Structure 1
Amino acid sequence: MKKKLYQCVPQDLKWKEDKMIIQSQFKKENDEICYLLGFNNYIIITKVMKVFQPQDLQQQPKKYIHLDFDIKFEILRENQVKQGDEDDSLGQIKGISLIKDLGNETITYKKYLGGEKIIKQWREYLSNRINQWQFHQMFKVYKKIGKGNFASVYLAQKIEDQKKMAIKAFSKQAAYAEEQGKEAIVNELKIMRQLNHAHIMQMHEVYETSNSLYVALELLEGGSLYDLIKEKTLLSTTQIQQIMVGVLQGLHHMHQKKIMHRDLKLENILFKQQKQMDSVVIADFGLATKVDEPVYLYYRCGTPGYVAPEVINIKDVQGHYSEVCDIFSLGLVFYLLLSGKQAFPGKSYGTVVKQNREAVIDFKIKQLQQAPSQALDLMKKMLERDPNKRVSATDCLKHPFLAEMNNQMADDFVNDSFDEIDEIGEVALRMNALNEETIKFDAFRRNAILNSPGSPGILDTKQLKQQKVIDSLNQLQMNSPLLNGKTDTFDSIPNIGTPKNKQCQNGFQQSPMIKHSQFKKSIPLQQQNQDNPLQKYSQQQKN
């Protein structure tokens, strides 16, 4: 049975009070004129004359579309005569189609015809709320750059504007079959659509076909913080400040929207460009959630060794905690960057979990003895066990250890870094003292490298491998599509022309309890050729 796209406007819909975001006149296929009024999460359809405010409507509208996960849109174009197999040009935009995806049932759709400028405005409005139907004709795909047991990631270029992106593709059937699979996808898309910041990985668009989902993400070419540590890169104190400020500015943006990440660790801190620490971004929002959700999708989650104590110790499924859980996780990363040691250095999964639960941290290890006093002060405040006493992202950016770097990297963060002081000279004295400590600490770490392979500031290879084992045995949650979507290997973007056959860093089977971003998920190998032009395009590039 064919189901309708529209619903009757419910009596409790306060459309006259809600803010209207966009409105336009369209022509339907039968040449009838209609008007669409776009609000935050629904569209009203009316036949009356164009209005400027909802209250100007002469009568109660009868039809509306609630913009939930089952509603998609597609850009309609004029038919284009191809000049050959290599011709990827697109026809002129002529309209937009709204679609209701009912799975195995009939798809219902309506076409609205209008000028290209209007359609592009509606595309921008809809892209921030729902997925776009179809994918194949919109992208030129060059190469698979990442893969895992269930995941495939491709380097692609959008034909319309030639913009390069990373496309993560996965099977809807496989994802939805997992426990809370669809809910996890809806949650992550909703979270990422609310975020727009230089230090947060950007999600450009989301496309769907009947079988697959394609997520177009910002192409990050600088690798991860894990990669840097694995390569034994010694980061200077200034570089550590850049990383910390960038991540904190991203967290500040998230926390203002009452969103918490809940899985900050080395692998989820990435860089836009190689060797540019100020290009740092936060990635992987598979565990992110709103602080005020009545019940969290996953209430106890994350990676042992990086989890805030209030999260790892929570026992009530309906319990809550706040966004400062991310500050604790980042504090553990900070500890590792400065000392080269993990705050919870257990050699087994059980030991690390126990240490993480107790959250007793040794700040007197020899690797931190010559660390700048301001750095230690900030670290202790970030690693405060009591979340009610822990500093916020805003407080961290104002802290003397990071304030000057925050000034240099200021984006949308309104900076009032220092508290009011009587004499401006006190600021200069404070900064000079910090610079002197920083110089001594960097020299201490450089000298240590020359004398010992397991030096301060460089995480020992055995420790790093051990943490990967801990990651693989993470027992904090039950199975979900976020686990199976993990991408185990990823080629270096600058070496895109040189295929690599990398072995998975982690030889252990993932526990059914760990959570990773849904968008590391992809099409199982046996399904990839059914509804996936990416394989075809990749093969063409090789030939």
Structure 2
Amino acid sequence: MNNQKQEIETQKETQKEKEIEDDIEKISDFESEDEKEIEFSKTWGKLHSLNPKFPDFELNTIELITIGRDEKCNYRIDDKRISNYHCQIYRTIDEFSTTKPFIIKLKDLSANGTYVNGSLVGKGKKVLLLHGDDISFVYTREPKSPPPVANFIFKDYSIVPEDREGKSKIHEFYEFQRVLGVGKFATVKLGIDKKTGEKYAIKMIDKTKYIPNIRHPSVVIAKDIFDSPNFLYLVLELCVGGDLFDRISAKERYNEEESRIVFEKIISAIKYLHRKGIVHRDLKPENILLISKDSDTDIKIVDFGLSRIITQKDKFNSFTGTLPYLSPEVIERKEYGKECDIWSSGVILYILLCGYMPFASDFRFALARQITRCELDFPNEIFEGVSVAAKNLIRRCLVIDPKKRITPDQILEHPWMKGKPEEIKSEYQDVPNQK
């Protein structure tokens, strides 16, 4: 009898404990929904002002955020060039993303111009805003144009802090086990998700090999590199003088002395990169930045997005780069190596000295044919006064056979590069286009 009574009491206690657990679970669910609402309504972003006249602005409302001159705007910019309602910033929930809960957009309301990363959005149009985007109002990229009325950097607080700060905490989530494979730049290891126990292949890229330690006065320096689940951050030198293409357009052409200085720096950098095993593969004036606005000759080679690291034996056969600067072997998809950079540099030297492209056509096929046949000419009307030595050096860069193309060391020893074109020896006299 006592045993039966004790069993009934035990069942009651068990039932009561279950009810308490259910109540706790309901409370937890309620708090979870409440937390979601708080998460949605708290500060989720920031406009960091680059103009001391205007303060930073915290983004902390669910409603549309309107920026403009009108007093009803959430953020007011009191300047006649700003429209009454210039643009709107808003966010919506991203139901398909597991890493970033919100999509943030900017809508341009002004005919005067809203620019994101230097590109005009356009009245009535919308663009996606990402962490670190540059937002400018009433601005053009034309030479000698005034600075933007207002300029902000958008900071997205809805992405995880690790992504904002560029930090990676992979070891907190995955356990690393045996090596599955080893490549030239990466090692692949077996990884186990500490939460689910699922197995993954984790590729670890050795950035010291993939992005070598580059230190050259004419190559942009990556001061720091940060990894995170969603982004790779590169901290680069800031060059404020624009690119070489814009400077040539403004000047129309460089004289021989200026061209020599710039070209020497380009070739010196190419020589350095090739010794590091790096082939740029997209050398052009747009990828050569001027360090300051006051100098026509202090340069930095940038944009290594198409570059590759090779050994002496490595070759490529992919059609990569910008057509007017491509070498014949690249266009014809033959195996090619670092010599393609020398061809591109020869095209750049031609442009420096006359302000025109050596190969030009409105039709890609015709342009490719000019290049593969090296249909090179030096019209008197645009090359008047340019020395025979300079034209000779261009021709020695633009040789169809990459094996016969001049090397960086030979370029640096060329009489024109030495600043003594009048002392050209017979073997350096002007020669026909070489195959």
Task: Calculate the TM-score normalised by the size of structure 2.
Answer: 0.49
- Structure number with greater Rg is 2
Task: Calculate the TM-score normalised by the size of structure 1.
Answer: 0.40
Structure with more contact order per residue of length (Cα contacts < 8 Å, sep ≥ 6): 1
